[in-house]
Chains A and B, each alone.
Chain A
Amino acid sequence: MCLAIPGRVIEIYEASGVRMGKADFGGVTKEICLAYLPELQAGEYTLVHAGFAISRLDGETARETLRTLEELGQAGEERDDEVSG
């Protein structure tokens, strides 16, 4: 129910007293509302849903997760080879 995609904050400003910004989604930019992430800085990544930034994406955690998955995956590759080999 929740199509939220990662975007990089490229601009932050205020409009009618609300914290707004522009995010870059892989080459496409759109205005988003940053009211729910008052600490988010330009250059950081966030998940955006229906025009609102709802969660900060943590780069270090993402890298950690990928590393763990890749390791899990290594074990999987060996099994895959066993099965098909």
Chain B
Amino acid sequence: MKYLDEFRGGPLARRLAAEIRAAATRPWTLMEVCGGQTHSILRYGLHQLLPREVELVHGPGCPVCVTPLELIDKALAIAARPEVIFCSFGDMLRVPGSGKDLFRVRAEGGDVRVVYSPLDALKLAQRHPDREVVFFGIGFETTGPANAMAVRLAKQQGVRNFSMLVSQVMAPPAMEAVLAAPGNRVQAFLAAGHVCAVMGCAAYPPLAQRYGVPVVVTGFEPADLLSGILRAVRQLERGEAFVENAYERAVRWEGNPEARRVLAEVFEVTDRSWRGIGVIPRSGWRLAAAYREFDAEVRFDVGRLQTQESPLCHSGAVLQGALKPPQCPAFGRECTPRTPLGATMVSSEGACAAYYRYGDFVPAGSVAASA
């Protein structure tokens, strides 16, 4: 596929890795923010090509992982209602709430459907005027425009039986929370390329300056990730800390102005609770007043829910890069993809799931990490 295959070549990746090996003279800790980048790194085994000096820790860029437990429980309660068709991206179906997940709700009779786009959910609402169609609108800024447009069109076209359960989060506040946390080891960021394609890069210079960390806007293919790492390492070696765009074919400094315009119209910034981390001020979006009637939390009163997080789960520490999944005592024991304790083990790009699936694999004689 054009614009993918050229950036996936083995020889190019290995040569870039050699450059990184040559550039790194001291230990450095880098964080890739986006779960999709984590997935790509582990799926290709890129971390094996890196020198010992360069450590990658995985960030909180997994909207599935950080959706608060209470919201998942609300989703489960809404999906169980007979009049509701509950639509979601596939990512959310196995995320555990306080006792079940959406899969179980479906097995118990709830009408839960996987869709590719929120527009599919809107179409369902138009086709089934007698049902309430609710879309689970999770995402970082990359998904914001899609979710925003679905709500905007619902209002424009008078689709009254459509609503959205919103769990929109923003990357820069999460990055700042990581940097501000006591004991933070992150010295440079690979910023999420697709978030930046939408929002642009203006949020990052203040972070780079205030905390003295290089921020390199990075893509997702092996060559993109390795060149992002190389640029970050070179800055670190030179004692520099500025924002660089290593994903220029897709990211402009100003992002996508039309998308940002619609986002500003449909959403407003709000404090958000991040599962495993806690409340980060002004780190999420909710529907603006003019669109509040489409907010599923408003439309469906599911009452006060008693949430229950497993005491054994260390997702929060994993999401902030403070703990590598294999270091978690429950990893591979109480917590596996079959019996996940937290969202990071379920989401396809949660760090725990990625480590479990792909293993920390060293071929010569030793066995992979998957228990």
Report A's interface with B, CB cutoff 8 A.
1-6, 8, 16-18, 25-26, 33, 35-38, 45, 47, 49-52, 54-55, 57-59, 61-62, 64-66, 69-70, 72-77, 79-80, 83
Q: Contacting chain A: which of B10-18, B182-190, B235-243, B309-317?
A: B10-18
B16 touches A79 (CB 8 A): no
Any A CB within 8 A of the CB of B369:
no
A1 touches B12 (CB 8 A): no
**Interface SS majority for chain A:** mixed
Any A CB within 8 A of the CB of B176:
no
**Interface SS majority for chain B:** helix
A6 touches B4 (CB 8 A): yes
Count contacts between A and B, CB distance < 8 Å.
154
Smallest CB–CB gap between B124 and chain A, Å?
14
Nearest CB in chain B to that of A64: its residue: B248
Across-interface contacts of A57 in B (CB, < 8 A) = 3, 249-250
Any A CB within 8 A of the CB of B77:
no
Across-interface contacts of B2 in A (CB, < 8 A) = 6, 8, 26, 45
B259 touches A65 (CB 8 A): no
Nearest CB in chain B to that of A30: its residue: B116
Q: Report the separation of the CA atoms of residues A73 and B14 in the bound assembly, to the nearest whole angstrom.
A: 8
B145 touches A70 (CB 8 A): no
B249 touches A79 (CB 8 A): no
Q: In the A-B complex, list the 5 residue pairs whose CB atoms are closest, starting with the nearest.
A: A51-B117, A76-B15, A2-B194, A73-B15, A2-B142
Contacts A51-B116, A54-B194, A72-B230 known; A77 to B15 CB distance under 8 Å?
A: yes
Q: Report the separation of the CA atoms of residues A3 and B35 in the bound assembly, to the nearest whole angstrom.
A: 10
Contacts A26-B2, A57-B249, A72-B230 known; A4 to B116 CB distance under 8 Å?
A: no
A36 touches B248 (CB 8 A): no
Smallest CB–CB gap between A79 and chain B, Å?
5
In the complex, which residues 206-256 of chain B have their Cβ closer than 8 Å to any Cβ of chain A? Answer: 220, 223, 227, 230, 248-252, 256
